[in-house]
Structure 1
Amino acid sequence: MSDERARRIAEFIEPLRVEPGAKVRLRRDFDPRDKAGLKKRDGAALLRTGVELLAEYQERLAAQDTHGVLLCLQALDAGGKDGTIRHVMSGVNPQGVRVSSFKVPSAEELDHDYLWRYAQRLPERGGIAIFNRSHYEEVLVVRVHPELLLRQKLPDHARGRGVWKRRYREINDWERYLTDNGFKVVKIFLNLSKEEQRTRFLKRLDLPEKNWKFSAADVRERRHWDEYQRAFSHMLSATSTAWAPWYVVPADRKWFARICTAAILAHTLIGIDPRYPEVGDAARKDLLTARRELEQEAPEGLPADPYAARHPSAAGKKRR
């Protein structure tokens, strides 16, 4: 990765980053229809470049086996989370990625603290975990519907005044703990306009093959639009930190949201800069012994090392 390319990616995503300590008002600060002057016809090539970068860095991340990455995707219904995951992660090795969707908590999950079920799905070293909705549901949907706190079996003092401020602090501390232990936390809010959500809901009703994606509950939640906007604004203000910043991605144009998400994730992996492990002297001797044995097995008339014969420059670098 050239320094210039890394710089361009960093500059591209910088306007999306929520400055730690900033007081966010979504309607004022972020435009869901923004596309940074890009045209859709350029989007496919840019996304393809991002996907290729992710594939390269994911392989290095897995080989190094030191760091892990947690990608948290938050959005309102029809915000494009599923499509973003499908397109952005299309080139990576599925063995190194785990996607978790968090619905209504189960009885077992309600018998634990509110972060317990999310901790069960964290990435391992060398892996990438994606939360399709995340622990931030605990300060979003639970804040908009405070009656849900009653289901969490909390003691009285944990439901009282200051509960949201306390949860912001607990989440920030948890993410600081993860980053201190080598796990990068990437947080993306797909910012959808109310009119675009209405359009996408109607499309799901108009097309029979998309009917299954629609639920009457989606319209009921839409009635709380203003409350959710306030909850998102409070969340972004309180939990965008130096170690785990939020990025607000314009989501009205799906192609642009996917480019932004790929760039943010690539920027994170570039910052980690994972490297392939160095082979020690003893292991290198074993490799040379294995090479000689394999080359001696070459059938008559075929090159001893077919790969080296086809790629002499690459093979020469590896030998050195």
Structure 2
Amino acid sequence: MINAADSSFKISVPFSIAGAITHESLGATKEEKKQALKQISKQLGKLQDKMYANNRYSVLICLQGMDTSGKDSLIREVFKYFNARGVNVYTFKQPTSRELKHDYLWRHYIALPEKGKFAVFNRSHYENVLVTRVHPEYLLNENLPGIDTVEDVPADLWQQRFEQLNNFEKHLAENGTIILKFFLHISKEEQRQRLLRRLNKKSHNWKFSPADLDERGFWEDYQKYYEEALNSTSKPHAPWYAIPADDKKAARYLVAKTIYDELLKYDIREPEVDDEVMENINIYKRKLSTEEPG
């Protein structure tokens, strides 16, 4: 079957993370999913070339998900056929000392895509209402006025940040950035299996960190805060999509197809050829065709 990406995965409130599926096979074999992804990724690459020439829109792709949800491999496969000049990938880890000297959105501002280009945020500005909320002690590193201990964190801080994130994205959208956000939704059992594979397969041992197990202990907290963040920040100008990610190949296809379908809604065309060029195109062809090689 396949050809299954439509608005069915778009988050509209109220969204229940417990009620959202984590597995979607697309009714297809592994090979069929592989070929379907290859086809749609090539189409995306061609569309990006057109967008680069059009130079009117930029595209921001945000990927969020629990550890092992497949963000890295998805980026590798979905954007495989892009011209390297047209896409930049950023992975946001623990803020550096330089980044902490600015507000929490600064490092995301400076990574935004130019017109005609894509930026992919592997983890994103939403870490500031997810990881930081599970571990409020991280807020102390931001040296915020009036917050010297975890007990000083005001109850409405997170709602303030949701509003700030919405305003940030609204500003971008109003100035030509197309924003698409994907929550790669895996089950706790699938995460357990993937962590075990990292331990059992020698070539994947390097991917494992004891911190993965520590964070797994906060699974329910993360689910709760993800649900609140998704409900608070899925907007028409910057929608969230809950992508079932237990099947990696299906998840990659769904993300690629969603991006492609959404971009087709915009007027992205190559610039019109100059009238003088069109009037004299045959002359230019003849001149080049008859030119002596040398």
> TM-score surpassing 0.5?
yes
Return the match for 2:173 from 155, 168, 179: 179
Contact 1:190 1:249 (8 Å CA) reproduced: yes
Equivalent residue number for residue 280 of structure 1? 274
Query: Is the CA contact 2:10–2:241 (under 8 Å) kept in the aligned structure 1?
Result: yes
Q: Does structure 1 residue 15 correspond to structure 2 residue 1? A: no
1:235 aligns with 2:229: yes
Task: Tell me if 1:25 matches 2:19.
Answer: no
Counterparts of 2:27 and 2:281 in 1: how far apart (Å)? 52
Partner of 1:271: 265
**Residue pairs, 1:70-85, within 5 angstroms:** 70-85=60-75
Q: Who is 1:48 aligned against?
A: 38
Deviations 1:40-71 (A, max 9, x none): 34212211221121011011000111100000
2:136 to 135, 143, 146: 146
More helix by share: 1
Name the Cα RMSD after superposition. 1.8
Counterparts of 1:45 and 1:271 in 2: how far apart (Å)?
24
Q: Quick check: 1:96 aligned with 2:86? A: yes
How far apart, in 1, do the equivalents of 2:180 and 2:88 lie? 15
Please tell me the residue identity of whatever aligns with 2:5: F
Give the SS at the match of 1:73.
strand
Alignment partner of 1:109 is 2:92: no
Query: Once the two structures are superposed, what CA deviation does each residue of 1:87-134 show, in whole Å capped at 9, x if it has no partner?
Result: 111111111110000010011101111100001111000000000000
Tell me what 2:158 maps to: 164
**Partner Cα distance (1:60, 1:80) in 2:** 28
Shift of 1:282: 3.1
1:68 pairs, out of 36, 58, 73, with: 58
Q: Secondary structure at the match of 1:32?
A: coil
8 Å contact from structure 2 (residues 5, 258) kept in 1:
no
Partner of 1:201: 195
Unaligned runs of 5+ in 2: none
Structure 1 residue 243 displacement after superposition: 0.6
**Matching residue's letter, 2:154:** G
TM superposition outliers: structure 1 runs of 4+ over 6 Å: none
Residue 126 (structure 2) aligned to one of 130, 136, 140: 136
Does structure 1 retain, via aligned residues, the 8 Å contact 2:86–2:118?
Answer: yes
Q: Percent identity?
A: 40
Matched length: 288
Q: Say which SS state the counterpart of residue 98 (structure 2) adopts.
A: helix
How far apart, in 2, do the equivalents of 1:163 and 1:198 lie?
33
Q: Tell me the amino acid that sits aligned with residue 27 of structure 1.
A: A
- Between structure 1 and structure 2, the one with the greater Rg is 1
1:285 CA drift (Å):
5.2
Code of the residue aligned with 2:199 in structure 1: it is: L
Residue type of the partner of 1:15? S
Contact 1:35 1:250 in 2 (8 A): no
Deviates more, 1:220-229 or 1:39-48: 39-48
